[in-house]
């Protein structure tokens, strides 16, 4: 989800537009799942059909963010860029601490020393699961790139097919993770978009065909949720499982994501400054609106979204809420970029090289001790 790891200058605006759309889908998903709606009680109504629909986009949005990252980063086979790592960490740290302090100051949260420590070390304590998982992925990406770029095209294809069977097809059919987790799933998505960047997919498949694939699989996925909801009217134990085929590792979700990703890659969109600027704040939008200490306040206290349960008004209301929330969070992050990030990066520029040199000396020393490595 992080858009700040690579510079936004002259990025492909069609992909950046997809990043914005992905975040909107994630926010609609959070509207549904964090809005305190009663999904355990099945009902077939306009509002429930809408909530089912917006629930479908959350994990699609997450997968798309990782696909975008892999597409941008696969060509980077250099050693780790500590400036970019510190930039990512600085953004997560800033929102973690500032939001916690503000929520405590305004009585939204109660102060505790344990929570403060978690906020000071947000990556370590997974204050945002995506941020922590992505942070590890970014650390690993140079090594992943060297491996993926060193194997043959056929070996790459075989690896992808094998992992898709293990970590997508089998979990879809058996409702198990099959020895997978968020990091391994992110690595698979990274490898898929890396392959697309290096080799492309079948050139015989045209963009209009990707549109058809996307539309058909999306409709079937949505109908699966409706079918489970309808079944839940009679069998209450299944009512809350309507999102089974909406989860990020399901093969249908993977097909939706890859087809949509290809649609936007193939778009011949000119560079649009404001699309790229808005997209540059998307990670900040995520960090603000899905903060642990702010989440309940936003959906329950501020917007009271569950009060529209059972009413068709939830449709226009949810749209208005997401537009407002996205605009406010984007404005906040763009201000942060100018006021906080710029001076922070000046300091990072001055300190990054000396710090990197010291880190290299320490790691070289450890290598010599652990591996008896005399080549450093």
Q: How far lies 108's CA from each of 178, 249, 296, 298, 307, in Å?
A: 40, 35, 9, 10, 20
Cβ-in-10-Å burial (0-12, 13-18, 19+) of 85 comes to middle
Q: Specify whether the CB–CB gap between 270 and 225 falls below 8 A.
A: no
Residues 6+ apart with CB under 8 A from 68: 15, 18, 19, 22, 193, 261
Q: pTM higher than 0.85 for the full model?
A: yes
Q: Count of CB atoms within 10 A of residue 122's CB? A: 24
pLDDT at position 289 is 96
Token pair recorded at residue 304 = 């009271």
Residues 6+ apart with CB under 8 A from 229: 42, 43, 44, 48, 52, 239, 242
pLDDT at position 83 is 82
Question: How far, in Å, CA of 145 to CA of 242, rounded?
Answer: 37
pLDDT at position 310 is 83
What would the pLDDT profile of 234-273 be if each residue is shown by its tens digit?
676 676 677 788 888 999 999 999 999 999 999 878 889 9
- Give pLDDT < 70 ranges for the chain: 1-9, 40-43, 77, 233-234, 236-237, 239-240, 373-376
pLDDT at position 7 is 43
Question: How far, in Å, CA of 271 to CA of 273, rounded?
Answer: 6
What would the pLDDT profile of 106-160 be if each residue is shown by its tens digit?
999 999 999 999 999 999 999 999 999 999 999 999 999 999 999 999 999 999 9
Sign of CA dihedral 364, 365, 369, 370: negative
What would the pLDDT profile of 64-80 be if each residue is shown by its tens digit?
999 999 999 998 767 77
Chain centre distance of CA 60: 9
């Amino acid at each position: 989800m992080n858009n700040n790891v690579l510079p936004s200058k002259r990025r492909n605006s069609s992909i950046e537009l997809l990043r914005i759309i992905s975040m909107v889908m994630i926010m609609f998903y959070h509207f549904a799942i964090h809005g305190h709606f009663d999904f355990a009680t099945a009902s077939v109504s306009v509002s429930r059909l809408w909530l089912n629909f917006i629930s479908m986009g959350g994990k699609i949005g997450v997968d798309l963010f990782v696909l975008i990252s892999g597409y941008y980063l696969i060509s980077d086979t250099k050693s780790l860029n500590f400036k970019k790592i510190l930039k990512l960490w600085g953004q997560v740290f800033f929102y973690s601490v500032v939001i916690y302090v503000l929520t405590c100051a305004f009585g939204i949260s109660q102060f505790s020393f344990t929570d403060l420590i978690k906020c000071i070390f947000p990556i370590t304590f997974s204050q945002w699961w995506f941020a922590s998982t992505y942070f590890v992925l970014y650390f690993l990406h140079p090594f992943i790139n060297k491996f993926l770029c060193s194997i043959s095209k056929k070996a790459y294809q075989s690896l992808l097919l094998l992992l898709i069977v293990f970590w997508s097809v089998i979990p879809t059919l058996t409702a198990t993770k099959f020895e997978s987790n968020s990091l391994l799933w992110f690595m698979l998505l990274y490898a898929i978009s890396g392959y697309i960047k290096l080799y492309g997919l079948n050139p015989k498949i045209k963009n209009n065909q990707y549109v058809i694939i996307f539309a058909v699989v999306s409709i079937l996925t949505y109908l699966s949720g409706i079918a489970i909801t309808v079944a839940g009217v009679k069998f209450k134990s299944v009512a809350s499982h309507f999102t089974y085929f909406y989860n990020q590792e399901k093969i249908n979700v993977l097909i939706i994501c890859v087809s949509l990703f290809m649609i936007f890659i193939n778009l011949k969109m000119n560079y649009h400054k404001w699309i790229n600027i808005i997209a540059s704040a998307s990670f900040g939008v995520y960090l603000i609106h899905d903060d642990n200490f702010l989440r309940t306040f936003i959906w329950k206290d501020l917007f009271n979204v569950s009060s529209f349960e059972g009413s068709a008004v939830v449709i226009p209301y949810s749209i208005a809420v997401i537009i407002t929330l996205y605009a406010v969070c984007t404005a906040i992050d763009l201000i942060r970029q100018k006021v906080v990030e710029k001076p922070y990066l000046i300091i990072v520029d001055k300190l990054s090289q000396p710090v990197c040199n010291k880190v290299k000396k320490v790691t070289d020393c450890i290598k010599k001790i652990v591996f008896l490595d005399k080549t450093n």
